[in-house]
Structures are given as C-alpha cells and as structure tokens.
C-alpha cells in the first residue's frame, strides 16, 4: 500500500471520505444494470407510499420508487463530477503551464487573466452558457470545469514555477529531455499533489452545482433522473409530503461532504509541509 | 496607499472590460438569429430585417459592443427585446428585494460564523470543539435549496411562524410583512454561508493563537485566553475582511437560487426568467451588473484590508 493511501486511511475522516466516494461510484455502476424498480416507471395507485417494503424510501407523486430514482441519480452525479473534473484538469493544466513555462509577457498576461477570471462566479458562467445553448448537464460540466480550472491554475502556477527552477528539472534539460518530456516526467508529477486536492474540491462543487442548476432548469432534463430535478419535483408537494424531500438532500449532502473531506485528507496525506504553512481553509462559493 | 489603490483600480477596470467582453462574445455565438427568435417563425423576411436593424444586429460586432458599453457608461442598460421595458428601471425595482435580502443574509452569516468559529478554535481538542467542527463541515456541504426547503417545512408548515414563499404585493409600504417574507430566505443563505465562514474564522483564530505577539502578551502575564481575545482577535477580524469578498460573491449567487425557491421578485429570479426566455439584451446587462457588483465589492474589500492592516501600511512608508 502506498504511503499516501496509508495516511489517507489512518484518519476517520479519510476513511469516511473514501467510503462515500467509493460507495457513490459503485451505486452509479450498479444502477446501470439493476435498480429495485424502474426509476421512471409511474404507478398511480402506489403514489406517495410511505417508506416500507418493497419501496424502502417510499414513492413520489407519480408512484416512482424514490430509492431507484436516487440510485439512477447517482449516475448523473458521477457523470457531472467526473466530467467537470476532466474539464477542470484540462483548463487548469493548460493555463498553469502557459502561465509558468512560457516567455515572460505571456506568463504575466496569463497571471492577470487568471486573477480576473477567478472573480467570475461559476453560476454566471452557467447562466451564460445556458442562455446560449439551453440547459443540459453539459452546461454544468463546462461551467464548473472552466470555473474551477481557473482556480486550479491559480494554485498550480506558482508551484509549477517553483519546481521548474529546481535542480532536477535543470538536470533533465541538460541530459537532453525535450520540454514536453520534462513536463511529463518531472514537472507534472511534482505538482500533482496540489492539483489532485483541488480536483477533489471541484468535484464537490460540481455535485452542488448539478443540484442547483437542475433545480433552476438549466441542468438535467425532466426525463433524466437527477438529485436536483428530484428536489425540484418533490418541492411542489412539500406542504403535504415534507419527508420525501429529505432523501435527495441527504444524498447530495453526504456526497459533497465525502468529496470535501477527501480533498482535506489528501492534502494532509500528500503535503508534508502543511503543518509549517499557514492553516488555510478553502472557501468554496455557494452555488446550489 | 494611493499607489496601491491605483494598481488595484487598474485591475478592477481590466476585470470589468474582460468580463464584459466575455459576456458579450459568449451571448453572440447564439445559434440562430435573435431577430428571428423575437419575431417568431411566422414572420415575413421584411419584418425580421426591420427588427434586426432596430436592434442594431446588422452592425459589426465591435460597433455593437461599443454601443452597449457606451450606453452603460451613460447609465442606459438597454431595453428588453421582448417587452421593450427599460432594463435599468427593472433592475432598480428588483434590487429593493435583493439588496435587503443580501444584507440580512450577510448579517446572519457573520452572527453565526464569528462566535461559533472563535468558540470552536478555543475548544480545539475537546468534545465541544470537535462537535462544532463537524457541524460546520456538514452544514457547508448542504445544498442551499435543500436547506431552504427544510426551513420552510419547519418554520412555515409545522410551526406556521413565517410565510413559505412570496413577497407582499404592497412591498416596503408594509415593512413588517416585507421583512417577514425575507426572513426565511436570508436565514437559509446565512446559515450555509455562515458555516463556510465559520471554518475560516476557526483556522484564523488558531493561527492567531500561535502568533508571536499573542505569545508575548501571554508571557507578560495575561492568561492564554486573555492574550488571544485582546491581541489575537483583531488579527482574526482582518482575515475575515479578506474572505468577505468571496462571501459576498457567494451571497449574490445564493440569492439567485433562493429567490427562485421562495418566489421573491428580485434580481436573481429576473435573471433566471430572462435566461429561460432568452431575452439576450437583458441577460447581457444583468450578468454584467451582477459580475460588476462582485468585482467592485472585491476591490473595496481589498482596499479596506489594505487600509486596516498596519503591516501593509508600514511596508510602503
């Protein structure tokens, strides 16, 4: 077992985080093949069933099984989190590399651009994209991906700059590695810890953003099972059936908590200098 | 100080220009013709052409952009493509809901974050401190919409103390009812934002406790707690000012979702509606106003931070 994994699993928050993330991933995979009921199947006679066998979490206003809807919704959540993570990686690495490794005027204009873009809220990006192309899950993926790519770039750029000036990178260049080889072999592995921590937090924001944007009608469509649309759906009957709203909210909260704690635990596990640095807390913006 | 204000001001102006360009360009790649969209599919080509001309869509992009920015500098935010109403007037009217909502939410957030954050730092390592930390970490993961729904269930449906949604038609002419209807929305945003801010206050307090000046004060005979409260807390206040910019951005964004949940006639709900109907001239100006508010508050917060912090002032003289 690698050292970082050992450290990760040594705290109870780390274990909780891994459990949640693995659990959601497994649920998403299982839901492709099996859910207790067809999540989209209405059964008008069986609507608003209380939690009991066989509907463990009850049914909604059209008799759909809430547990099955939640399981299918985990798929949407996983898609958005992974998709946004990939976009954030691409945007973040490109901006950081351009801002750290190129000629001076490019570096400095990228730094200013990143400083400007960072103030642009993710929800504004999402509104802009959906005003143009209409709402879909891709809006969430790109809005969160671009928004967090910028903040990843801001954190990774100085780190990349520091590593680039170190002796082993110079040695690599002296022994004939091209810029690309040097980037892949020496630079990226050394900034990976900072990067992965940010990625974990951006996935947490993606999950919140999916719920919020789907609620506003800019995310998942009504035919897609998603925790956000489920919340919007159940809200209309909140006065009569308040308890049904608890489940999707809990699912979102636990997932976001897991991803946030995973980021915190990964940071502690991969960053040995943490105790010496100032104890900074990441302050994510509210989106959902 | 003046030098700092000038450089920071330049960054603000650059930020506003870049944001306006991004908003403008993104909304121009609209697939299909805005004029066609407004006129409807049944309209004959002449009508569409006339409409395009009256909207200025036949001009080159750069001219359209400078027209828009020029209008904004003169205080004209444009008119709605669908209703023909002035965007500026509508924004001013809706801000009478959104601005009080934001201020109330900020107050709630600070009332939660500061006392609980300091307490959780002082109780670090004890059961109470751990409980407070877990609570903050969990609340920070709660989606704002869900928090709002839960508060509605408890305070509106079960206890019946506050209205579940809506804003009085009479507006601020009936101040008690207006405040009443903003209470639950403000509480919702404030609690979730407060939980995030609380984690920051906690770590700032812990950091302050380790500072040399606090240790010196303790060495001179104050108890650790006295030293922290008298010398450490002012330093904490400073770092709260730093995150306040992020917090206010969070509140602006949170109000968009929350106004929808509580059907409040504010700027956020207006924006959501206009994005839905693709009233692009309105969306364009609204996005710029909201982003501008976030950028300008960030600028003011940085200036305030600079003015308060004795270390930053000393650096320059």
> What pLDDT is attached to residue A280?
47
Q: Tokens 């968009």 map to which residue?
A: B256
Nearest to A238 among B22, B152, B197 (CB): B152
Quick check: B265 and B90 in contact, CB under 8 A?
no
Nearest to B200 among A238, A283, A285 (CB): A283
Chain B residues with CB inside 8 Å of A235's CB? 145, 149, 261
Residue A155 or B108, more confident: B108
Residue A207 or B230, more confident: A207
> What pLDDT is attached to residue B32?
56
Percent of chain B with pLDDT over 70: 93
pLDDT at residue B272 greater than cutoff 50: yes
Distance of residue A249 Cα from the nearest chain B Cα, in angstroms: 6
Chain B residues with CB inside 8 Å of A116's CB? 11, 14-15, 18-19
Give the tens place of pLDDT for each residue, A177-232: 887 888 888 888 888 888 888 888 889 988 998 888 888 888 888 778 889 888 88
Nearest to A211 among B137, B143, B153 (CB): B143
> What pLDDT is attached to residue A277?
42
Give dist(CA A32, CA A25) in Å, integer: 11
pLDDT at residue B186 greater than cutoff 90: yes
Residue B116 or B48, more confident: B116
Distance of residue A90 Cα from the nearest chain B Cα, in angstroms: 20
> What pLDDT is attached to residue B206?
82
Q: Hey, of A119, A201, A252, which one would you mutate to test binding to chain B, going by the most B CBs within 10 A of its CB?
A: A119
Up-side HSE of residue A225: CA atoms within 13 Å toward CB? 23
> What pLDDT is attached to residue A87?
95
Q: Span B158-176, mean pLDDT?
A: 82
Nearest to B276 among A217, A260, A288 (CB): A217
Give dist(CA B160, CA A150) in Å, integer: 45
Residue B27 or B110, more confident: B110
Give the tens place of pLDDT for each residue, B93-113: 888 889 999 999 999 999 999
> What pLDDT is attached to residue B31?
54
Judge whether B38 is closer than 8 Å to chain A, CB to CB. no
Nearest CA in chain B to A129: B26
| Phi/psi at A180 (5° precision) | -65, -45
Nearest to B146 among A242, A249, A285 (CB): A249
Quick check: A85 and A197 in contact, CB under 8 A?
no
pLDDT at residue A285 greater than cutoff 60: no
Could you say which DSSP state residue A176 is in?
Answer: T
Distance of residue B29 Cα from the nearest chain A Cα, in angstroms: 7
Judge whether A240 is closer than 8 Å to chain B, CB to CB. no
> What pLDDT is attached to residue B101?
92
pLDDT at residue A260 greater than cutoff 50: yes
Give residue A19's pLDDT band: very low, low, confident or very high (50, 70, 90).
very high
> What pLDDT is attached to residue A177?
83
Distance of residue A224 Cα from the nearest chain B Cα, in angstroms: 19
Asked if B142's CB is within 8 angstroms of A249's CB, the reply is yes
Asked if B11's CB is within 8 angstroms of A115's CB, the reply is yes
Residue extents of the structural domains in chain A: 73-275
User: Is residue A275 helix, strand or coil?
Assistant: coil
Nearest to A283 among B157, B246, B287 (CB): B246
Asked if A253's CB is within 8 angstroms of B146's CB, the reply is yes
Quick check: A65 and A55 in contact, CB under 8 A?
yes
> What pLDDT is attached to residue B37?
66
Give the predicted TM-score (pTM) of the model.
0.85
Give residue A252's pLDDT band: very low, low, confident or very high (50, 70, 90).
very high
Give residue A286's pLDDT band: very low, low, confident or very high (50, 70, 90).
very low
> What pLDDT is attached to residue A287?
47
> What pLDDT is attached to residue B34?
66
Q: Span B49-61, mean pLDDT?
A: 75
pLDDT at residue A275 greater than cutoff 70: no
Judge whether B189 is closer than 8 Å to chain A, CB to CB. yes
Q: Span B69-84, mean pLDDT?
A: 82
- Please report, for residues A4, B150, B195, B216, the alpha-carbon distance to residue B204 in angstroms, rounded to integers and kept in the order given: 27, 31, 14, 18
pLDDT at residue A272 greater than cutoff 60: no
Distance of residue B315 Cα from the nearest chain A Cα, in angstroms: 21
Nearest CA in chain A to B289: A124
Least confident range of A70-74, B51-55, B77-81, B129-133:
B51-55
pLDDT at residue B293 greater than cutoff 80: yes
Residue B105 or B237, more confident: B105
Nearest to A286 among B31, B254, B283 (CB): B254
Distance of residue B175 Cα from the nearest chain A Cα, in angstroms: 26
Task: Taking the CA atoms of B273, B275, B279 and B285 in sequence, report the sign of the dihedral they define.
Answer: positive
Chain A residues with CB inside 8 Å of B194's CB? none
- Based on its alpha-carbon atoms, the radius of gyration of chain A, rounded to whole angstroms, reads 22
> What pLDDT is attached to residue B291?
86
Percent of chain B with pLDDT over 90: 10
Judge whether A177 is closer than 8 Å to chain B, CB to CB. no
- b/e per residue, B248-286, with b = 16+ CB within 10 A? bbbbbbbbbbbbbbbebbbbbbbbbebbbebbbbbbbbb
Q: A73-275 architecture in CATH?
A: Orthogonal Bundle (1.10)
Chain B residues with CB inside 8 Å of A278's CB? 207
Give the tens place of pLDDT for each residue, A73-106: 889 999 999 999 999 999 998 998 888 888 888 8
- Please report, for residues A41, A229, B260, B274, the alpha-carbon distance to residue A222 in angstroms, rounded to integers and kept in the order given: 13, 7, 18, 20
The DSSP result for B50-100, as a single string, is: HHHHHHTTTS-HHHHHHHHHHHHHTT---B-TTT--BHHHHHHHHHHHHHH
Give the tens place of pLDDT for each residue, A36-71: 888 877 777 777 877 877 877 778 777 788 888 888
Distance of residue B277 Cα from the nearest chain A Cα, in angstroms: 8
């Amino acid at each position: 077992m690698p050292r970082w994994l050992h450290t990760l699993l040594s705290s109870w928050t780390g274990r909780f985080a891994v459990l949640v993330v693995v659990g959601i991933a497994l649920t998403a995979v299982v839901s492709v093949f099996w859910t207790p009921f067809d999540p989209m199947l209405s059964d008008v006679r069986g609507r608003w069933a209380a939690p009991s066998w066989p509907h463990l979490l009850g049914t909604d206003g059209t008799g759909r099984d809430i547990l099955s809807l939640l399981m299918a919704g985990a798929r949407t959540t996983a898609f958005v989190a992974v998709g946004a993570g990939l976009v954030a990686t691409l945007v973040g690495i490109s901006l950081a590399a351009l801002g750290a490794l190129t000629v001076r005027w490019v570096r400095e204009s990228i730094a200013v651009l990143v400083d400007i873009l960072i103030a642009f809220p993710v929800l504004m990006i999402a509104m802009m994209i959906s005003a143009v192309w209409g709402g879909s899950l891709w809006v969430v993926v790109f809005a969160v991906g671009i928004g967090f790519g910028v903040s990843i770039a801001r954190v990774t750029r100085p780190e990349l700059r520091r590593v680039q000036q170190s002796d082993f990178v110079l040695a690599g260049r002296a022994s004939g590695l091209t810029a690309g080889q040097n980037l892949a072999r020496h630079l990226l592995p050394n900034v990976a810890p900072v990067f992965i921590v940010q990625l974990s937090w951006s996935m947490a924001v993606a999950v919140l953003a999916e719920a919020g944007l789907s609620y506003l009608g800019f995310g998942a469509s009504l035919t897609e099972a998603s925790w956000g649309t489920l919340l919007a759906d159940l809200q209309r009957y909140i006065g009569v059936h308040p308890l049904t709203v608890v489940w999707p909210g809990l699912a979102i909260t636990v997932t976001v908590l897991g991803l946030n704690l995973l980021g915190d635990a990964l940071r502690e596990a991969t960053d040995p200098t943490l105790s010496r640095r100032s104890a900074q807390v990441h302050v994510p913006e509210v989106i959902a | 100080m003046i030098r700092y204000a000038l450089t920071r001001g330049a960054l603000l102006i650059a930020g506003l220009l870049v944001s306006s360009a991004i908003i403008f360009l993104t909304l121009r790649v609209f697939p299909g013709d805005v004029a066609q969209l407004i006129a409807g599919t049944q309209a004959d080509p002449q009508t569409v052409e006339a409409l395009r001309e009256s909207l200025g869509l036949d001009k080159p992009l750069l001219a359209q952009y400078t027209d828009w920015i020029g209008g904004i500098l003169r205080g004209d935010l444009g008119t709605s493509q669908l209703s023909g109403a002035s965007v500026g007037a509508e924004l001013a009217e809706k801000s009478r809901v959104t601005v009080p909502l934001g201020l109330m939410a900020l107050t709630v957030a600070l009332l939660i974050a500061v006392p609980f954050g300091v307490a959780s730092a002082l109780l670090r390592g004890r059961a109470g401190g751990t409980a407070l930390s877990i609570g903050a970490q969990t609340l920070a993961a709660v989606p704002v919409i869900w928090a709002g729904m839960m508060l509605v269930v408890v305070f509106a449906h079960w206890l019946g103390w506050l209205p579940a949604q809506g804003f009085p038609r009479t507006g601020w002419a009936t101040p008690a009812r207006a405040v009443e209807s903003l209470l639950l929305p403000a509480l919702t945003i404030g609690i979730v934002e407060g939980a995030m801010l609380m984690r920051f206050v906690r770590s700032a307090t812990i950091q302050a406790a380790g500072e040399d000046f606090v240790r010196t004060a303790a060495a001179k005979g104050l108890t650790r707690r006295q030293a922290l409260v008298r010398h450490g807390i002012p330093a904490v206040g400073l770092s709260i000012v730093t995150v306040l910019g992020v917090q206010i951005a969070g509140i602006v964004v949170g109000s968009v979702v929350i106004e929808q949940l509580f059907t409040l006639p504010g700027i956020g709900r207006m924006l959501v509606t206009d994005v839905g109907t693709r009233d692009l001239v309105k969306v364009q100006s609204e996005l710029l106003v909201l982003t501008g508010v976030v950028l300008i508050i960030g600028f003011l917060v940085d200036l305030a931070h600079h003015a308060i912090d004795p270390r930053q002032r000393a650096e320059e003289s």
